[in-house]
Structure 1
Amino acid sequence: MSTKQITPRNPANNPLAIIKKCQELNRPVFIAGPMVRYSKLPFRSLVREYNTDIVYSPMILAREFVRNDIARLSDFTTNHSDSPLIVQVGVNNVTDLLRFVEMIHPYVDGIGINCGCPIKEQCREGIGAALMSEPDLVSSMVYAVKQKYGSKVTIETKIRIHKDLNETLAFVKKVENAGVDFITVHGRTRHTRSSQPANFDAIKLVKENVSVPVIANGDCFTLQDAYDIAKYTNCDGIMAVRGLLNNPTLFAGYPRATWGSIEKFWEYSTAYGLPYRLIQHHFSCMLDNQLNKKLYKEMMDCKNLIELLDWFDSNFHLKRSWEDGFGQSIDIQYRIERTIHI
C-alpha cells in the first residue's frame, strides 16, 4: 500500500477526540463492535447513519495480512466516508503487529488488539482470548506501537474479564502503563456463554482502576440499555454488537430495524459489494420477529441476489436511492395489507 496520495485522516475523527466530544455532550460514545464477516463496509456505512459514533472492522489476522496481498484485498475495504474507523487485529507478536500497523494506519483512525475472541481456533493460534493470559506480551505490543508512532496511532485493547478480577486489574494496569489509549471490556470471561448476563460490576471495577477511557461491551440491545450501562459503570462509551446486528438503528432510539434502514442496506450492499449469503443473513437478523413465518421462510429460501430482490419488490414497496422518501419509512411497507402472525 502506498501512502503518497492518501488524504490525511481528520483529527476530529480520532477516537479520543470523539470520546472527548461525547463527554462534553454528557453522553457515552456509541460504538459498533467488530463482528466476524458482518461488520464490513456496507454495514459500517449503515450504522453511521443512525448515531453510531465509532465503527470497528471485523478482526483481521495480522500474519495473513502482512504476507498475502490477496488477504489484504479481501479482508479490508474502505472509502473516504468510512470514518471514524477502528480496525481490529488478531496478532500474537510484536513483529507482525508493527508490519500491520505500518501498512494500515493511514487508512484508519485507530487500531484495536483483539484480546477477547473466545473462538477455539483463534485461541489455539495464541490470539484473541488466549492473550488474556499473556499480559506481558500484550503490553509489549502496545509499547512497541506507541514507541514508534506515538500519538500518530491510537491503539486500543479489547479484553474479556478473568474469573479472578485481580488478574483483570493487573492486566489493564500493565497495558495502561505501556501506553494504550483506551480499553474496551467485555463483561464476560472466555468461557461465559452469551446467554449469561454480562458482569457490569467487573467493568465498573476496571473503570475505577485506570485513568484511560473505558468502553463497556455486553448486553446492549436498546438505546436505554446504553444509557443504563453507562450510568452504572461510569464508562466513557458503550459498544453494541449483537444488538446492532439485529437493529442497526439501535443508537438512534428505534426499537427495531426501520424499513428505511432495510432500503439503505440494499443500497450499500449492492453499491459496495457483499457476498449474497451475508446480505441474506443481515436481512434475516434485521427482519427477525418483524415478518410472519411464511414470509420469513420465503426470504430465507431465496437462492441468489436477483431472486431476493424480486421477492422484496413483490411483497414490499422497496424504494431506491433516487426515489422520494428513500430510507425514511419506519414501518414495513407492504404492497398489500397483511395480518401479521409472528
Structure 2
Amino acid sequence: MTALNLELQPEQRPHIDILNVFKAEKNTSHGFTRVSAPMVRYSKMEFRRLLRQHGVKLAFTPMIIADSFINSQKARYNEFTTSLEDIPCISQFAACDAHEFSLAAQLIYPYVDGVDLNCGCPQSWAISKGYGCGLLRHPELVKDIVETTRRVLPNNFSISVKLRLLNGSGDQSLRSTVELARQLEKCGATFLTLHGRNMWQKVSDPLNINAMAEVKKSIQIPLIVNGNVRTWQDAKNLHAQTQADGVMAARGLLSNPTLFNEYCGEAETSMECVQQWLDIATRAGDHIHFQCFHHHLTFMWSSHMKRKLRLEFNNFTSKQQIFDFFEERYGLKPHTESYSSPLEYTKCIYPQIKYDGVQVNKSSDVLAWNENSDGKFFNEFKDKVSAPNGQNEFELEGSFFTQLD
C-alpha cells in the first residue's frame, strides 16, 4: 500500500475534527448539523462560501473521480479549489478500488477535513464503472476501501461513506443496510450519510423514513440523512422523524441557498442572497467560470422571473450581461469593496508519486468532464423552466443527477 508523506504542506490549515462539529451542533436549539451535499458541477468553493453564510456547518466538494484526480493535474485544478476559510470541508470521491481511493485521499489530505466514498450515485454510467451504487453490490469491497484508507490516515481525519438503502424486500433491505452500516463503523468510518431510497427508486418515490431511523439506532457513529429537503421545516421534520445527527440537502440549496438559515424565514432566495453571490463571484474573478456563476443564479432566481425574462436570462453568454441584468432590473450590483478584495485561494501542492509503476501528476491528461459545458442537469432544468405553460412556479424535481438528493 502506497503511503505518502503527510507532513504539513505549504498553506495547509489545521484539520477540523468533524466529530466535534456534530457534538457542537447537537447542543443547538435545532439539534442537528446542517450539511450541503456533494453536487456535481455546483458545490464548488465559491458556492460553499455562500452556503456557510446561511447556516451550513459541513460542506462537501462535488464528487471527484479518484482515478482522474490521481493521474491528471488538470483534473485536480479543475475539480478542487479551496481556501484557508473553507472549513470544515469533506472531499467526496468516486472509486471502486481501495488503493485508488486511499491514494486520492492522501493527496488531498492537507487541504480538507475528511474524505467521503460515493456509494449512492444511481446513474448508469457510474454503475457500469463500478462507482456509486455499483459498490453496494460488493459490501466487502466497500469495507476494504474504508479499512485500507483508515490505515494510512490519522485517526482524527474523517473517512465517511454516502449510502443508499440496499436492494431487497422491506425487511431484507433494512437488515442488509443496518449490517453494512455496522460493519463500516467497525472498519473505522467516522460517520455515514444515508439517502432514504434504494438504487432503483426515483425522486418521486417516497423516502423510507423508518429505515433511516432504524439505521440511526443501530450505530454509534453519527448519521446524516438525505432526501426531499426543500425547506427549513423539511429539515427539522426529517431530523425529528429519524433523530439523525445531520440533515443534508442538495436541490433545495440550489434553489434557495438560505434554506438552512433558521433566522431568514424565506421560502425562496432573497435579493440579499443574490447580492452576496454577486459579491462572491466578483471577488472570485476568473476562478469562477461563467457557466457556474450563471447556472447558480438560474436556479436561485428563475422563480422570480416570468417566462420571457427567463428566456432572456438563460441565453446570456457573459458575466457582464448578468451584472447589467441585475443592476438594471433590480438595482443590484457588486459592492465596491468586492473589486478590491479578491478571494484568497490556497495553492495546493501535490507530491510526485508513482501509481501502478507509472509517474502521475501529469498535466496532459483529459479532464473527467468539461467545466465549460452546460451539462445534462442545467439543460433539462432550463428547458423545463422555459416551457410555455403560463406558470411561474417550478421545482428542480426530476432534472438533477439523482445521486445528489
Write out per-residue CA displacement over residues 130-177 of structure 1, whole angstroms, 9 at most, x where no aligned residue: 111111111111111222224242111000012322221221122111
Structure 1's consecutive aligned runs of 4 or more residues displaced over 6 angstroms after TM superposition are: none
* Alignment counterpart, residue 259 of structure 1, candidates 264, 267, 271: 271
Higher mean displacement: 234-243 or 248-257: 248-257
* Alignment counterpart, residue 96 of structure 2, candidates 88, 92, 98: 92
The CA distance in 1 between the partners of 2:155 and 2:141, in whole Å, is: 21
The CA distance in 2 between the partners of 1:293 and 1:166, in whole Å, is: 48
* Alignment counterpart, residue 212 of structure 1, candidates 201, 221, 228: 221
Q: What TM-score, normalized to structure 1? A: 0.90
Q: Which has the higher contact order (CA 8 A, sep 6+)?
A: 2
Is 1:118 the counterpart of 2:122? The answer is yes
Q: In 2, are the aligned partners of 1:154 and 1:181 still within 8 Å (CA)?
A: yes
Q: In 2, are the aligned partners of 1:28 and 1:238 still within 8 Å (CA)?
A: yes
SS where residue 159 of structure 1 aligns? strand
> Could you tell me which amino acid in structure 1 is paired with residue 254 of structure 2?
L
The CA distance in 1 between the partners of 2:9 and 2:291, in whole Å, is: 36
1:288 maps to 302
SS where residue 166 of structure 1 aligns? helix
Q: In 1, are the aligned partners of 2:212 and 2:225 still within 8 Å (CA)?
A: yes
Q: In 2, are the aligned partners of 1:220 and 1:243 still within 8 Å (CA)?
A: yes
The CA distance in 2 between the partners of 1:47 and 1:114, in whole Å, is: 22
The CA distance in 2 between the partners of 1:198 and 1:270, in whole Å, is: 39
Which runs of structure 2 are paired with 1:232-271 in the superposition (5 Å)?
232-253=241-262, 254-271=266-283
Give aligned pairs, total. 324
* Alignment counterpart, residue 13 of structure 2, candidates 2, 5, 8: 8
Is 1:314 the counterpart of 2:328? The answer is yes
1:222 maps to 231
The CA distance in 2 between the partners of 1:263 and 1:15, in whole Å, is: 31
Q: In 1, are the aligned partners of 2:42 and 2:62 still within 8 Å (CA)?
A: yes
The CA distance in 2 between the partners of 1:94 and 1:178, in whole Å, is: 13
Shift of 1:80: 0.8
Q: In 2, are the aligned partners of 1:136 and 1:174 still within 8 Å (CA)?
A: no
Is 1:130 the counterpart of 2:156? The answer is no
Q: In 2, are the aligned partners of 1:156 and 1:181 still within 8 Å (CA)?
A: yes
Higher mean displacement: 163-172 or 84-93: 163-172
Shift of 1:217: 0.3
Q: In 2, are the aligned partners of 1:15 and 1:109 still within 8 Å (CA)?
A: yes
% identical equivalent positions? 30
Structural RMSD (CA): 1.8
2:319 maps to 305
Shift of 1:211: 1.1
SS where residue 288 of structure 1 aligns? helix
SS where residue 118 of structure 2 aligns? strand
| Structure 2 unaligned spans of 5+ | 1-5, 168-172, 339-390, 393-405
The CA distance in 2 between the partners of 1:87 and 1:61, in whole Å, is: 11
The CA distance in 2 between the partners of 1:222 and 1:124, in whole Å, is: 34
The CA distance in 1 between the partners of 2:256 and 2:104, in whole Å, is: 32
The CA distance in 1 between the partners of 2:11 and 2:315, in whole Å, is: 43
